[in-house]
Amino acid sequence: MNALTIRQITIKESLIGRTAFESTGSFLPVSTVNMVKASDAVLLGSVGANRTTDITYYPGPETALLKLRKLMSSSINLRPIKHYDSINTSFPNDNLKGTDILVLRELTSGIYFGKPKIVRKTYAQTKATSLEGVDTMKYSESEVRSIAHVAFKSARNRKKKILSVDKANVLESSKVWRSMVLEVSKSYNDVRLWNNYIDSAVIEILANPREFDVVLSGNLFGDILSDQLSIVSGSLGMLPSASLGFNGKGLYEPVHGSAPSLTHKNLANPIAAILSLAMLLRYSFHLNKQASMIDNAVVSVLKRNYKTSDISNGKRYVSTSEMGDLIASLIRTI
Ligand code: IPM
Ligand code: MG
């Protein structure tokens, strides 16, 4: 932000996640909630916990993120997925050239928030036997209609194509999803709509990635799709996101979590976070020029062959802070 010398925006910082827990006993302290309520936009550092050795039923840092998304009513999650010529992916690059997909994920409903959501004891003749975890996948007509309209309007400004992803052969919530998306499509005759099931969607997309434009899905399927489609960009460390509410506020965060294995190593790729800032400037403050300066600086740095370890293909790489400095210094010279 310093490199862009934007003076109209007041920036304040507050804690969330593990650091917040360590200093206040809460993953989402009241002071942060109040600051969020008073802000137009929030740029979030990734949260997550190392659960490989410690899967617990207790709330973790992720609960803070989910509460924040709900608090801000950030139901429209935009996850742009682009291919960069200068990054060698594990997929044939020729196929991916020019790929530009917008994953549009519904973010404040579906199985992430449906009730009941509990761990309960099961009983056999009054004796507790074992635990049972329950989640509820739910979508109402109006929820699907709202996000579908956003998808069709977005597609109109792009290549006018939508793939809607569900599991309508099995899930009732997906049946409502599919029929509502179809209903909304009737008001947008200029946009082409496809449907596919989550289990085959990524294979269909990667077989012909340039053909795809907007990929619309519910909360859980959008989570899965966006991680998988990071193949297109070469790393999850490249994917930014914007979560917009119908109230005009915006929450901006990388698609990735916190990568606990990289803590204190100065190795994480900062590009997803930096591109999330560009989305913040574009969507919350309409500073399109400054947002493009950031996007262009990222492309230029990659072209000059500066890569973090996740996108370096085993070759020489720069650290997190070096990558940040390189992008900032390029912005200053643009
Ligand atoms: C994401 C992340 C989050 C999610 C986690 C950290 C709760 O995976 O933004 O994709 O599941 O939504
Ligand atoms: Mg995810």
Here the CATH number for the domain that contains residue 151 is 3.40.718.10
Q: Is 112 a catalytic residue?
A: yes
Least confident window among 165-169, 277-281, 312-316: 312-316
Domain membership of residue 26 (yes or no) is no
- The whole-number pLDDT of residue 263 equals 86
**Residue of minimum CA distance from atom 5 in ligand 1:** 62
Domain membership of residue 54 (yes or no) is no
Domain membership of residue 13 (yes or no) is no
Domain membership of residue 46 (yes or no) is no
Which ligand 1 atom lies nearest to the CA of residue 241? 9
Domain membership of residue 270 (yes or no) is no
Count of domains for the chain: 1
Q: Is 325 a catalytic residue?
A: no
Confidence check: pLDDT of 173 > 70: yes
Q: What is the DSSP string of 78-126?
A: EEEEE--TTS--SS-HHHHTT-EEEEEEE-SSGGGT-S--EEEEEEETT
In angstroms, the CA 302 to CA 181 distance is 38
The tens digit of pLDDT for each residue in 201-239 reads 999 999 999 999 999 999 999 999 999 999 999 999 999
242 lines ligand 1 (CB under 6 A): no
The tens digit of pLDDT for each residue in 56-91 reads 556 778 899 999 999 999 999 999 999 999 999 988
Strand, helix or coil at 171?
coil
State how beta strands 214-217 and 161-166 pair. Answer: parallel
The tens digit of pLDDT for each residue in 266-283 reads 999 999 999 999 999 999
Two tokens, residue 50: 């190392």
Q: Would you say 225 and 80 are in contact if contact means Cβ atoms under 8 Å apart?
A: no
- pLDDT tier at 196, thresholds 50, 70, 90: very high
Distances (CA, A) of 211 to 99, 103, 128, 229: 8, 14, 53, 14
For the CA atoms of 299, 304, 308, 313, what is the dihedral angle to 10 degrees?
110
Region 308-324: mean pLDDT is 96
- The whole-number pLDDT of residue 50 equals 63
Strand, helix or coil at 1?
coil
- The whole-number pLDDT of residue 247 equals 83
Domain membership of residue 9 (yes or no) is no
Region 177-186: mean pLDDT is 98
pLDDT, averaged across the chain = 93
Ligand 1, pocket-test mutation among 27, 47, 62, 258, most atoms within 8 A of CB: 62
Q: Is 199 a catalytic residue?
A: yes
For the CA atoms of 15, 21, 22, 24, what is the dihedral angle to 10 degrees?
80
Confidence check: pLDDT of 44 > 60: yes
Strand, helix or coil at 184?
helix
Using alpha carbons, select from 6, 77, 14 the residue that is nearest to residue 253.
Answer: 77
Ligand 1, pocket-test mutation among 42, 44, 112, 223, most atoms within 8 A of CB: 223
The parent domain of residue 218 ranges over: 74-234
Question: What sign has the CA pseudo-torsion 322, 324, 328, 331?
Answer: positive
Neighbouring C-beta atoms of residue 84, cutoff 10 Å = 20
Which ligand 1 atom lies nearest to the CA of residue 223? 10
- The whole-number pLDDT of residue 91 equals 86
Share of the chain above pLDDT 90, in %: 81
**Residue of minimum CA distance from atom 9 in ligand 1:** 255
Catalytic residue (one of 84, 139, 166, 223): 223
103 lines ligand 1 (CB under 6 A): no
65 lines ligand 1 (CB under 6 A): yes
Domain membership of residue 258 (yes or no) is no
CA 79 to chain centre: 5
Residue 55 — left, alpha, or beta (φ > 0 → left; ψ -120 to 50 → alpha)? beta
255 lines ligand 1 (CB under 6 A): yes
Give the Å distance between the CA of 56 and the centre of ligand 1: 17
Using alpha carbons, select from 190, 136, 184, 181 the residue that is nearest to residue 163.
Answer: 181
229 lines ligand 1 (CB under 6 A): no
Confidence check: pLDDT of 177 > 90: yes
Which ligand 1 atom lies nearest to the CA of residue 226? 10
Give the Å distance between the CA of 189 and the centre of ligand 1: 34
Domain membership of residue 5 (yes or no) is no
